[in-house]
Structure 1
Amino acid sequence: MTDENRNLILACALSLLVIIAWPFLFPPAEPPLTPETPQTQAQSETTTGPAVAPSVENAAELSTTDASQDTAASDAPRIDIQTGELSGSISLLGGRIDDLLLTQYRETQEEGSENVRLLTPVGQANAYYALYGWAPGAGLAPTDVPGPNTLWAQKGSGNLTLESPVTLTWTNDAGLTFEREISVDADFMFNIRQTVINSGSASVTLAPYGVIARHGEPDTIGFFILHEGVVRMSDGQLKEIDYSDLPDLDINERERARADVVDVAEDGWIGFTDKYWMTTLIPSPGSAFKSVTKYDTSRDIYQVESVLPTKTVAAGQSATAETQLFAGAKEWEAIRAYQNEGGVKGFLDSIDWGWFYFLTKPIFAALHWLNAWIGNMGWAIIALTLGIKAILLPLAYKSYVSMAKMKELQPEMEKLKESAGDDKQKMQQGMMELYKKNKVNPASGCLPILLQIPIFFSLYKVIFVTLELRHAAWFGPFQDLSAPDPTSMLNLFGLLPFDGPEVGSILALIFIGILPLLLGISMWLQQKLNPAPTDATQAMIFAWMPWVFMFMLGGFASGLVVYWIANNTITFTQQYLIMRSQGIKPDVFGNIKSSFKRKPKADG
């Protein structure tokens, strides 16, 4: 076996390992309930430190499990939300942000498809919402502070818009007035300013909190490459907890539920992330708080909380707490701006960049810039491939020059093989001396191949998880580069007047589209730069390899197949030109012809 053939087999084997192992490593309605309200344990009036971990108080007056309470929730007054990115409403029952649509995103690409719904009120399936309040401290009962079912009043009138914040107000019987001002920016960030005014005769202690609750486990992609569930940053430490792992959290005695409580010293956030959408509680930068992940087994509620330090409010005084709520699409530009300009440290890590984050982050940044410049994601992927191949060109040049030199040494290697006979040790020693004498490194051809593997993984990750690839069009039938090729052999790739098999079906994988076909052809042509191996087994492997890959990649995202076709085409061109520069003239057409020649029949 020649060294160039060994390198090519290594390349194919490693690539095949990627394709085969990937699916195994990364295999691709609830009762209306109210979340538990965080409660602080009784504290001294002079307490100024962080609130203790919230403890669950399953108070009957906070429950909405009966039909009458559900009706009351649906009939509660609402304040409309109207921005360029968001629409929905805030319920005055609990002051919940519980009705939110993303106006720039639709569920599917079909005409008339509905906007993506992010938040859903209690009383509907899969309730999902955010609420805020004050956990009672020393001298206060749960009924002294606004809870999930407190009916707030709007101060003034009007809808929540970019120019017009709204203020909610509620007063208890003990002289405490609570106000909540809610504003929103042009993207997906709400600002929540909570104020308590003590008109009573005694000091009170209480702690501001925020809660995001999901009733029942939501539908997920279920793909190991993608994290869906809790994501939180705690003083620079990122932690991800899948929904399936939340019921396995340890029982927390203070919480009286399965909970994970982390004391954050100054910077952090916590929330739920889906593939493309996210809701996140963000205390003000520099603030200490308790970051709580909780699962209520009895009521099947997934919950995250941010509990700020306890505040002591003297008679005649007031206290204010300001936090943020991100509720929207995981747009890279918006999230980066919140991190770099808004001071939300580590917020860009809320996008699941994976193990190769040191590659996926710059690869996506380059792809995003190219798409903005070119205006088309498909051509941006091809331009990115050109850039990657240009960066790797020095290594590729050394590799192909080494292969060309080894081809020149082929006659001497054949002589060495004849003289060594069955003595493998003598053969190996002779080859090493030959390589050393001619300054040839047989391993140099492997490095570019090995570098392509993490790049492939990283680009796959980028295409799979980033919102910018969702429904990203190229041309013609390729209107979603995050989905498999929609064309099919059955209708001659759209030339015949009927639809092909449903994307993702077995028939679609068998009767592949034009992109997987072009991938197979590009791999096949790349092989033809060198004559077929003389060994029959090797020749058979090489003959089948492109077509096996063609069918295996039929169900991959079309954007990834575009990358691979471009990569093969550029690699073919580079190798051909470099071999020519070294005096080697690849007989591509001759090698193609020889692959179609029939073997002569044996005599007799």
Structure 2
Amino acid sequence: MDDQNKNLILAVVLSGIVLLTWTYFFPAPEPVIDPNAPTVQQSVASQGAAGDTIALAPPSTDAGITTNGAVTQPATTVSDAPRIDIETDRVVGSISLIGGRIDDLSLKDYKTELDSDEIVTLLTPVGSDAPYYAVYGWAPGGDLTGADVPSANTEWSVESGNALGLDAPVTLVWENDSGLVFRRTISIDKDYLFTITQSVENKGADAKRMAAYGIVARHGTPEVSRYFVLHEGLVRLTDKTLEEADYKDIADYDMIAREGAQASVAQVEENGWVGFTDKNWMTTLVPQPGQSFTSVVKYVANSEIYQVESRLPAQTIEPGASVENTTYLFAGAKEWEAIKRYQDEVGIYHFVDSIDWGWFFFFTKPIFRLLHALNAIIGNMGWSIIVLTLIIKGIMFPLAYKSYVSMARMKELQPEMEKLKEEAGDDREKMQRGMMDLYKKNKVNPASGCLPLILQIPVFFSLYKVIFVTIELRHAPWLGWIRDLSAPDPSSILNLFGLLSFAPPEPGSIFAILSLGILPILLGISMWLQQKLNPAPTDPSQKMIMAWMPWVFMFMLGSFASGLVLYWIANNTITFTQQYLIMRSHGHKPEVLGNILGSLRSKKKEDAS
């Protein structure tokens, strides 16, 4: 490989190191919320079939929804309201009869920490530290007012069902003074999908007009991981357009609205959904597939409330008639199997795209599918990652073979290249011309060794994305001390890998960088040995960079997920073996030990001088 190609690769690698290091130690700052910022005063409406508009919220904030649609604390304390229990094999919680809110939900299968008995809480009611909940209702139209329809402050009665569970729905009912009877039936499946059916029966003498809606509200700015590789915040599909926005972006929607521009309102013609996603959890409003609706995102600055809405078209209920609407609420863990099932069986369009597959989704998706399939067979994610590495290296072997053969042929030319260097002296241009003529004469392509490395970069980032983002790696053990492949290696050289009694530094501290585990050390050694298959570069600057690179990567990746470090170790080991055997097959015995000893002798000479 010529000097230009080496410099290019070194520049790419070093740029990547700088980018990753800077992002890790200097993450983007959290958005600063102005507590004195005015509330958004924007039109909130649902378009009717005849072109009329229906106000989404009643004019009085006492009803529990402000004039801009933001859910506020009702007059009756939600925590004191009567509740209906929710329990299945996978979730536990309750529904408040105040507003019929789904505002208490925990996930039985997931612990907050590896060694904790506390399960993950997803939804919490108003009055908790960070309220996060879903609420449904009807927006009044025509001669109706906010008092004529149930609001977030309405106390519902239970018509049927003592508790919500699998194959055990509950129905809530509320009747106004004008003969309108509102019902809400809620059911839940074996995983995380709620089905909400809202109906209105008109016992009065006049036709009434209104529109159904659903809201997910989140009070306060959530704590996020702040890694550039991970999206947390809004996720929305509008027909075929996927939109992601972090919480700062959602606040910017509010700024635009205050300046007189239209709020973040999108009209969905056939298929769509909107919600909030965390790293491993998600709460998403999903109208029926094929149903047109209005998708809304807003942020209320003075209350610091983030909110998404789905608004169905307005409907007219004639006297003696009734209407009914069914929508879904996904509230749970972002498990690929469950989300894929909802996409295939329920028909939720492109629902698997709610998982953050990243820029290299064309690599990330198939890599995850293969890893998922291997884990189903092997039953251990660590060994599945190693087998996945073998498969990837097998697929790339034809290119790798050409690369290693080219490197072997380059080694044959080493004496002639040294001779050229002596003849050219300091004349770099003459040296370059001579090398190109030498390559052309012997039909050697110096760039062929770069192709496997270039292809490995998107594969590496795709696997990094899979390991970091997908919940299937969370708390997944490998062997021995590696009990969570999504977390860094917990062992530490500072306490001699557990032989000494004191604990290593906490992850995230500056001293944690020095607290190398067993896997990062093995990574550095594997990279170093791989380098020793070939003599060190003759250029002093390149030689120094290449000598330091394994140890820089060892420290830099020490805080990365164990699964990713395991992949890299397996990749380096397989690459070393492939290159060694191919070079031997072409009559070259790689002088690994000789190169190591040569490096040590060179270092002694430098120190002596």
TM-score by length of 1: 0.91
In the alignment, the residues of structure 2 paired with residue 303 and residue 100 of structure 1 have an alpha-carbon distance, to the nearest angstrom, of: 18
In the alignment, the residues of structure 2 paired with residue 600 and residue 354 of structure 1 have an alpha-carbon distance, to the nearest angstrom, of: 48
In the alignment, the residues of structure 2 paired with residue 444 and residue 500 of structure 1 have an alpha-carbon distance, to the nearest angstrom, of: 44
**Which amino acid in the other structure matches residue 15 of structure 2?**
L
In the alignment, the residues of structure 1 paired with residue 125 and residue 432 of structure 2 have an alpha-carbon distance, to the nearest angstrom, of: 73
In the alignment, the residues of structure 2 paired with residue 364 and residue 206 of structure 1 have an alpha-carbon distance, to the nearest angstrom, of: 45
SS of 2:489 mapped into structure 1: coil
In the alignment, the residues of structure 1 paired with residue 256 and residue 147 of structure 2 have an alpha-carbon distance, to the nearest angstrom, of: 25
Q: Give the counterpart of 1:92 among 90, 94, 97.
A: 97
**Which amino acid in the other structure matches residue 196 of structure 1?**
V
**Which amino acid in the other structure matches residue 19 of structure 2?**
A
In the alignment, the residues of structure 2 paired with residue 602 and residue 330 of structure 1 have an alpha-carbon distance, to the nearest angstrom, of: 55
In the alignment, the residues of structure 2 paired with residue 361 and residue 347 of structure 1 have an alpha-carbon distance, to the nearest angstrom, of: 13
Distance verdict in 2 for CA 1:427–1:498, change over 3 Å? closer
SS of 2:493 mapped into structure 1: coil
Q: Give the counterpart of 2:181 among 161, 177, 190.
A: 177
SS of 1:122 mapped into structure 2: coil
Kept in 2: contact 1:260–1:292 (CA 8 A): yes
Kept in 1: contact 2:98–2:154 (CA 8 A): yes
In the alignment, the residues of structure 1 paired with residue 427 and residue 74 of structure 2 have an alpha-carbon distance, to the nearest angstrom, of: 88
Structure 1 residues without counterparts, runs of 5 or longer: none
Distance verdict in 2 for CA 1:603–1:438, change over 3 Å? closer
In the alignment, the residues of structure 2 paired with residue 59 and residue 442 of structure 1 have an alpha-carbon distance, to the nearest angstrom, of: 74
Kept in 2: contact 1:53–1:255 (CA 8 A): no
Q: Give the counterpart of 1:392 among 390, 396, 414.
A: 396
1:547 shift after superposition: 1.5
The question of 1:62 aligning with 2:52 is answered no
In the alignment, the residues of structure 1 paired with residue 301 and residue 605 of structure 2 have an alpha-carbon distance, to the nearest angstrom, of: 73
How do residues 134-533 of structure 1 correspond to structure 2 at under 5 angstroms?
A: 134-249=138-253, 259-533=263-537
1:297 shift after superposition: 2.0
1:8 shift after superposition: 6.3
Aligned twin of 1:21: 19
Paired residues, number:
593
In the alignment, the residues of structure 2 paired with residue 224 and residue 397 of structure 1 have an alpha-carbon distance, to the nearest angstrom, of: 35
Kept in 1: contact 2:131–2:219 (CA 8 A): yes
Deviations 1:387-421 (A, max 9, x none): 11111111111111111111112222333344445
Aligned twin of 1:595: 599
Kept in 2: contact 1:257–1:294 (CA 8 A): no
Deviations 1:410-456 (A, max 9, x none): 22233334444555444333332322222211110111111111112
In the alignment, the residues of structure 2 paired with residue 330 and residue 486 of structure 1 have an alpha-carbon distance, to the nearest angstrom, of: 26
SS of 1:437 mapped into structure 2: helix
Kept in 2: contact 1:41–1:137 (CA 8 A): no
**Which amino acid in the other structure matches residue 22 of structure 1?**
L
Kept in 2: contact 1:161–1:183 (CA 8 A): yes
1:252 shift after superposition: 7.8
In the alignment, the residues of structure 2 paired with residue 543 and residue 572 of structure 1 have an alpha-carbon distance, to the nearest angstrom, of: 17
1:228 shift after superposition: 1.3
Structure 2 residues without counterparts, runs of 5 or longer: 28-32, 67-71
In the alignment, the residues of structure 1 paired with residue 255 and residue 9 of structure 2 have an alpha-carbon distance, to the nearest angstrom, of: 50
In the alignment, the residues of structure 1 paired with residue 521 and residue 116 of structure 2 have an alpha-carbon distance, to the nearest angstrom, of: 30
Deviations 1:44-70 (A, max 9, x none): xxx5357747555551331499x9956
Kept in 1: contact 2:334–2:355 (CA 8 A): yes
- Identify the range of structure 1 (498-507 vs 478-487) with the bigger mean alpha-carbon deviation: 498-507
SS of 1:503 mapped into structure 2: coil
Aligned twin of 2:88: 83
1:506 shift after superposition: 2.5
Distance verdict in 2 for CA 1:219–1:534, change over 3 Å? closer
**Which amino acid in the other structure matches residue 586 of structure 2?**
Q
SS of 2:265 mapped into structure 1: strand
In the alignment, the residues of structure 2 paired with residue 468 and residue 24 of structure 1 have an alpha-carbon distance, to the nearest angstrom, of: 28
In the alignment, the residues of structure 2 paired with residue 323 and residue 92 of structure 1 have an alpha-carbon distance, to the nearest angstrom, of: 19
1:13 shift after superposition: 4.6
How do residues 532-551 of structure 1 correspond to structure 2 at under 5 angstroms?
A: 532-551=536-555
Distance verdict in 2 for CA 1:441–1:177, change over 3 Å? same
Distance verdict in 2 for CA 1:5–1:369, change over 3 Å? farther
Distance verdict in 2 for CA 1:437–1:124, change over 3 Å? same
In the alignment, the residues of structure 2 paired with residue 514 and residue 4 of structure 1 have an alpha-carbon distance, to the nearest angstrom, of: 35
In the alignment, the residues of structure 2 paired with residue 495 and residue 417 of structure 1 have an alpha-carbon distance, to the nearest angstrom, of: 52
In the alignment, the residues of structure 2 paired with residue 228 and residue 599 of structure 1 have an alpha-carbon distance, to the nearest angstrom, of: 51
Between the aligned residues of both structures, percent identity stands at 60
**Which amino acid in the other structure matches residue 526 of structure 1?**
Q
Q: Give the counterpart of 1:73 among 75, 78, 89.
A: 78
SS of 1:546 mapped into structure 2: helix
Aligned twin of 2:30: none
Aligned twin of 1:553: 557
Distance verdict in 2 for CA 1:559–1:326, change over 3 Å? same
SS of 1:202 mapped into structure 2: coil
Distance verdict in 2 for CA 1:472–1:600, change over 3 Å? closer
**Which amino acid in the other structure matches residue 376 of structure 1?**
N
SS of 1:222 mapped into structure 2: coil
In the alignment, the residues of structure 1 paired with residue 359 and residue 244 of structure 2 have an alpha-carbon distance, to the nearest angstrom, of: 13
Kept in 2: contact 1:39–1:136 (CA 8 A): no
1:254 shift after superposition: 12
Distance verdict in 2 for CA 1:37–1:205, change over 3 Å? farther
SS of 1:212 mapped into structure 2: strand
Distance verdict in 2 for CA 1:8–1:254, change over 3 Å? closer
**Which amino acid in the other structure matches residue 539 of structure 1?**
K
